[in-house]
Amino acid sequence: MKKNLFVTVAVLFILPSLLLGACSAVAPVPTAEPDKVTVQLSWFHGVEYSGFYAAVEQGYYTDVNIEAVLNAGGPDINPLDEVKNGNAQFGITSGDSLITAQSAEQKFVAVATIFKENPLAITSLKKDSITSPEDLIGKTVGVYSPDLSNFFDIPFLALISRTDLDRDSMNYAVIEDFQGANEIKAGNMDAMSGMFATDQQVMASQAGDELNFIYYKDYGYDVYINTIFVTEELRQSNPDLVRRFIQATLDGYQYAIENTDEVAALALTYDETLDLAYQQAVMQAQIPFINTGDGQLGTMTENIWNNTQDILLEFNLISKPIDLSTVYTNEFAQR
């Protein structure tokens, strides 16, 4: 009887302890509030930003305790201003814009790039056999301003400079229709400068046209066209946030590369007016510029930044060289 009483008392004491321990084991561990960040995209929603969409959908941002909002860009939105004013913590802009901003004592720094190679090209119909800059002599080239004074004519001017061509050896017409090869087919020009080889070839292909591309990067104009940037202040004050965000975003781009149709469909969740087949085709077309096989996704090279600065100096867009180590870093993109 005493033995049974002892066992009963022991159970009464031990059981609550076991239950308490079990409850403690399954109780949720309090977590910190997620870091809320806003990303100012450089243009309207589309698969160019597929890595961001994938990072949201796959939970890569959640995994690193970040809640990200993706703001569409447009012709009237300057990502530099949005980040400077605190409306966004991360922005997307070109490398030359960051150098000119730094020259004007605005402290921004590129922390990764989306395209590792520049997809800008001179576009022409394949049947016209324009495959090199020399083939443009005597032809009419579509440009952004008749006197080549527009900022977007700089790549074309740089190509002429680096191939020793005479700008007066060609004729020029202002591009008004940027859809596919419409201007060329209409006879308004023989080639169009400054086109994106990614979406341009898709538009043309869907219209039944085949294109040739003369890539600026192959003739000394290799500029990062869409770097992810932050303020120098954020880089210094919260490098952990920058690292977590960039790593999650690059994971998103890796996922996008491996799941092209899926992430193309994600673009439509941000803009339902987009055409799915077009987004799928553009996603495929841009992969070679995102994943070049040369180094890790998102990382940048000194040579391209030096080249960018040389071009800005050549065309008097900045007055003197700056320390490029203040404009870009691979510390957050490298693993």
pTM of the predicted structure, to 2 decimals: 0.88
Tell me, yes or no, whether 172 lies in a domain. Answer: yes
- Write the burial class of residue 334 (CB in 10 Å: 0-12 exposed, 13-18 middle, 19+ buried): middle
Picking from 185, 201, 219, the residue at the C-terminal end of a domain is 219
Residues 6+ apart with CB under 8 A from 247: 64, 332, 335
- What's the confidence (pLDDT) of residue 220? 87
Q: pLDDT for 185-233, tens place per residue?
A: 999 999 999 999 998 889 988 999 999 999 999 998 989 999 999 999 9
Single-letter residue type at 24: S
Q: Are residues 113 and 240 in the same domain?
A: yes
- What's the confidence (pLDDT) of residue 32? 85
Picking from 196, 219, 242, the residue at the C-terminal end of a domain is 219
Q: Are residues 229 and 321 in the same domain?
A: yes
Tell me, yes or no, whether 4 lies in a domain. Answer: no
C-alpha–C-alpha distance, residues 298 and 116, integer Å: 7
Stretches where the chain sits below pLDDT 70 are 1-31
The strand order across the sheet containing 90-93 reads 66-71, 35-40, 90-93, 227-231, 108-113
What per-residue string of b and e applies to 200-226 under the rule 16 or more CB within 10 Å gives b?
Answer: bbbbbeeeebebbbbbbbebebbbbbb
Tell me, yes or no, whether 16 lies in a domain. Answer: no
Q: Are residues 236 and 310 in the same domain?
A: yes
- Number of domains making up the chain: 2
Q: Are residues 322 and 232 in the same domain?
A: yes
Distance of alpha carbon 245 from the chain centroid: 14
- From the DSSP assignment, how many helices (H) and strands (E) are in the chain? 13, 10
- For residue 288, give its domain range: 35-117+224-326
Question: What CATH number does residue 155 fall under?
Answer: 3.40.190.10
Q: Are residues 126 and 111 in the same domain?
A: no
Picking from 171, 186, 219, the residue at the C-terminal end of a domain is 219
Tell me, yes or no, whether 7 lies in a domain. Answer: no
C-alpha–C-alpha distance, residues 322 and 335, integer Å: 28
- What's the confidence (pLDDT) of residue 31? 65
- What's the confidence (pLDDT) of residue 314? 96
Single-letter residue type at 100: T
- Write the burial class of residue 281 (CB in 10 Å: 0-12 exposed, 13-18 middle, 19+ buried): buried
